[in-house]
């Protein structure tokens, strides 16, 4: 007889909440002799935030699984969904398609007792400089512009973007400009920075011209503004919020720029949720604050942050502009109310601390020895043999995976459920599919 397996939920919460505030992500493979079938439903605990690491080689279903989890969180019962929001930082431009139902896999969905679904609670943010162009091309790809306040960046951030050292003559000048502008304690623009560079007399014109050229280029990116987007506007309860920064995949300093965006957002989320968590604790402790009064306040819901190809931003060796703040989210984020869903096709190149901090690991097929060894380091306590053996025994189907629940210290072979919305990460074909007769 099939039953529900809830991953991520401890015994205490299980007794109190049973299977409420959970979402279906797949079914467990059951082996009986030579027959392998799908049995128990695998439910993900959404009562509390988690750190979920999804690993697997290219094409194994990592991005697809991230979409399944995001859909599930947005489909929770209204009471639960009103306290949760999802923020997908899309570095590859594949998640805006979630606004379209998954008609492509309608037959597979039917086998699971589901059907393609239209999610009205999805909002796509596009960097301001490209917003109007993208919206004209396809209105469904862009809902709101996104920008970063220039004054939120430190001199170190600018040096990271432009690949300068903070200690060379370029870095020294940038630091001087930022410090001078911050003295006025007001927001400032890139034009203000360029004008301030002209006022600096200590540096040569060659250095000043080189830096001004970089800031002119930064203006063309269309992401830095005097007044940036309020992060609160990207955290609407019950919504899937998608920030598409894939447009910077080939721009000058794009890698550092994408890492910077992730780092700044991670820092802001920590600040907002830490403040919010104090408010929640006070309301729970105080008998003088009614539930109605608390609900009327501006609230920041529990945030689930989604990041693909995370090894690029939290590498095993070295640091990126995202590393300090994103590492804090991994290690400290659950307490103030930040869940994290991160995916990588190269777990062997990911900071090992990140792997060990993950309380749920979903491993699709991996074959490289470096990646298998990395997963073995965290899974070996619960396995009677090498993870490679478990992966070999998995059916060779898209979406098949191992799920490690650190809470129960158990491993489950699982088939991830089909997406209800359109998956934009599929590899393109040279010819269109044949038409149905």
Q: Which residue has the higher pLDDT, 245 or 367?
A: 245
Q: Give yes or no for residue 213 having a pLDDT over 80.
A: yes
Q: Which residues contact 118 (CB under 8 A, 6 or more apart)?
A: 99, 100, 101
What is the pairing mode between strands 35-45 and 84-90? unpaired
221-243 burial code (b ≥16 CB/10 A, e <16): bbbbbeebbebeebbeebbbbbb
Other CB atoms closer than 10 Å to residue 190's CB: what's the count? 16
Mean pLDDT of 301-328: 93
The mean pLDDT value of the chain amounts to 88
Q: Which residue has the higher pLDDT, 41 or 2?
A: 41
Domains with residue ranges and CATH for the chain: 46-103+111-145+231-402 (3.40.50.300), 150-225 (no CATH)
**Sign of the C-alpha dihedral, residues 158, 162, 167, 168?**
negative
Q: Are 101 and 117 in contact (CB under 8 A)?
A: yes
pLDDT attached to residue 428: 78
Lowest mean pLDDT of 161-170, 213-222, 378-387, 406-415, name the range: 378-387
240/420 Cα distance (integer angstroms): 14
**In 3-state terms, what secondary structure has residue 417?**
coil
pLDDT digits (tens, 9 = 90+) for 248-270: 766 555 667 899 999 999 999 99
pLDDT digits (tens, 9 = 90+) for 131-161: 999 999 888 889 999 999 999 999 999 998 8
pLDDT attached to residue 124: 96
Q: Which of 100, 68, 109, 64 is nearest to 86 (CA)?
A: 68
pLDDT attached to residue 2: 66
Alpha helix stretches (DSSP H) within 9-61: 11-17
Residue 84 is given by DSSP the state E
pLDDT digits (tens, 9 = 90+) for 354-372: 888 999 999 998 877 888 8
Q: Which residue has the higher pLDDT, 281 or 42?
A: 42
Two tokens at 200?
A: 């600096």
pLDDT digits (tens, 9 = 90+) for 363-402: 998 877 888 877 877 665 666 567 777 788 888 888 999 9
Mean pLDDT of 218-227: 91
Q: Are 57 and 364 in contact (CB under 8 A)?
A: yes
The rounded radius of gyration (Å) of the Cα atoms in the chain is 23
50/9 Cα distance (integer angstroms): 10
pLDDT attached to residue 378: 66
Other CB atoms closer than 10 Å to residue 296's CB: what's the count? 9
Alpha helix stretches (DSSP H) within 232-322: 254-285, 291-296
Task: Give the model's confidence band at 125: pLDDT under 50 very low, under 70 low, under 90 confident, else very high.
Answer: very high
- Secondary structure (DSSP) of 181-222: HHTTTS---HHHHHHHHHH--SS-HHHHHHHHHHHHHHHHHT
96/246 Cα distance (integer angstroms): 11
- CA distances to 3, 193, 208, 219 from 173, rounded to whole Å, are 64, 11, 8, 19
Our CA angle for 281, 282, 288, nearest 5°, is 135
Q: Which of 133, 135, 227 is nearest to 189 (CA)?
A: 227
| Helix (H) / strand (E) containing 87 | strand 84-90
Q: Give yes or no for residue 282 having a pLDDT over 90.
A: no
pLDDT attached to residue 163: 84
pLDDT digits (tens, 9 = 90+) for 186-203: 999 999 999 999 988 777
- From the number of C-beta atoms within 10 Å of its C-beta (0-12, 13-18, 19+), residue 52 rates as buried
């Amino acid at each position: 007889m099939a039953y529900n397996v809830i991953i991520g939920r401890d015994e205490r919460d299980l007794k109190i909440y049973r299977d409420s505030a959970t979402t279906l992500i797949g079914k467990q493979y059951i082996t009986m002799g030579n027959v392998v079938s799908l049995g128990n439903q695998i439910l993900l605990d959404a009562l509390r935030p988690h750190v979920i690491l999804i690993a697997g080689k290219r094409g194994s279903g990592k991005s697809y699984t991230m979409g399944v989890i995001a859909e599930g969180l947005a489909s929770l019962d209204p009471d639960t969904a009103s306290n949760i929001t999802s923020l997908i930082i899309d570095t590859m431009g594949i998640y805006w398609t979630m606004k379209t139902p998954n008609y492509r896999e309608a037959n597979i969905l039917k086998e699971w007792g589901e059907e393609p679904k239209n999610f009205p609670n999805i909002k796509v943010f596009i960097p301001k400089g490209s917003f109007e162009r993208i919206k004209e091309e396809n209105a469904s790809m862009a809902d709101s512009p996104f920008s970063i306040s220039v004054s939120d960046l430190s001199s170190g951030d600018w040096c990271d973007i432009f690949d300068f050292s903070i200690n060379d003559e370029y870095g020294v000048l940038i630091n001087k400009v930022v410090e001078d502008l911050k003295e006025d304690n007001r927001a400032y623009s890139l034009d203000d920075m360029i004008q301030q560079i002209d006022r600096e007399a200590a540096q040569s014109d060659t250095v000043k011209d080189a830096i001004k050229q970089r800031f002119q280029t930064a203006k063309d990116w269309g992401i830095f503004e005097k007044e940036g987007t309020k992060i609160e506007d990207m955290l609407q309860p019950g919504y899937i919020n998608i920030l598409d920064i894939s447009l910077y995949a080939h721009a000058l300093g794009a890698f550092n720029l994408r890492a910077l965006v992730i780092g700044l957002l991670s820092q802001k989320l920590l600040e907002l949720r830490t403040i919010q968590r104090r408010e929640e604790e006070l309301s729970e402790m105080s008998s003088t604050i009614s539930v109605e009064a608390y609900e009327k306040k501006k609230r920041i819901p529990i945030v689930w942050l989604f990041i693909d190809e995370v090894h690029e931003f939290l590498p095993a060796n070295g640091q990126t502009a995202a590393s300090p703040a994103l590492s804090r989210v991994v290690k400290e984020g659950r307490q103030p109310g930040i869940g994290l869903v991160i995916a990588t096709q190269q777990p062997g190149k990911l900071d090992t601390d990140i792997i060990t901090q993950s309380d749920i690991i979903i491993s699709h097929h991996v074959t490289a020895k470096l990646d298998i060894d990395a997963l073995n380091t965290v899974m070996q306590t619960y396995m009677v043999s090498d993870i490679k053996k478990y992966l070999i025994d998995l059916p060779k189907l898209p979406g098949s995976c191992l799920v490690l629940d650190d809470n129960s210290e158990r491993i489950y072979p699982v088939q991830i459920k089909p997406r209800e919305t359109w998956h934009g990460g599929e590899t393109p074909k040279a010819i269109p599919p044949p038409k149905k007769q």
